[in-house]
Amino acid sequence: MKWFIYMYPKSWRRRYSNEMIEVLKQTDWSFKVVFDLLLGIADAWIMELNEKKVLGFRMSQVLLLISLINVFVILKLTSLRGVNVMLEQVSLLIAMLSFFLAIVVLIANMLKVGIIPALSIKTKLAKISLSLMGSYALFFAIFLVAAN
């Protein structure tokens, strides 16, 4: 269960990892413990994103704004329903999932190596984020074609 610790943000690991390792050594595996660790990971990342700032805005606000813009575009375009509803729904679902994963990977990369190096194509996570954005663009284009 020690590998759960590596899912926490780096600042959290620096402060609490030794204590958490000791607690996990004394704890048996159970669904409740795993679920509690996952909730703790989510909470730690939420706190981390609320502390990080980009151009004076909290990272969580930037993510929310990007997601809302995407949702508004999709809601506007879904009113133009076409004949092929199944293709629209599947392509839209894949597009949204790849967009979300691209943003999460990009932010994780920014937290890991910094903002400027994360925006280059030198790191593996940056390449993964770029490929996910490419699949987002491809499936969003399929959605647009199917919607019209």
For residue 18, the model assigns a pLDDT of 87
Q: Is 110 exposed, middle or buried (0-12, 13-18, 19+ CB in 10 A)?
A: buried
Condensed to tens digits (0 to 9), the pLDDT of residues 75-122 reads 666 555 554 566 777 787 888 888 888 888 888 878 778 777 777 778
For residue 39, the model assigns a pLDDT of 81
> Which amino acid, one-letter code, is at 92?
L
Condensed to tens digits (0 to 9), the pLDDT of residues 14-41 reads 888 888 888 888 888 888 888 888 888 8
For residue 141, the model assigns a pLDDT of 84
| Residue 15 Cα distances to 8, 10, 21, 48, 136, angstroms | 11, 9, 12, 13, 37
Condensed to tens digits (0 to 9), the pLDDT of residues 117-148 reads 777 778 887 888 888 888 888 888 887 777 66
What the block records as the tokens of 72 is 């508004």
For residue 70, the model assigns a pLDDT of 73
Checking 51-58 for CB contacts under 8 A at 24+ apart, the result is 52/110, 52/111, 54/115
Domain boundaries, the chain: 1-51, 55-148
- pTM score, two decimals? 0.46
Condensed to tens digits (0 to 9), the pLDDT of residues 34-85 reads 888 888 887 887 777 666 665 566 666 666 777 777 777 666 665 555 545 6
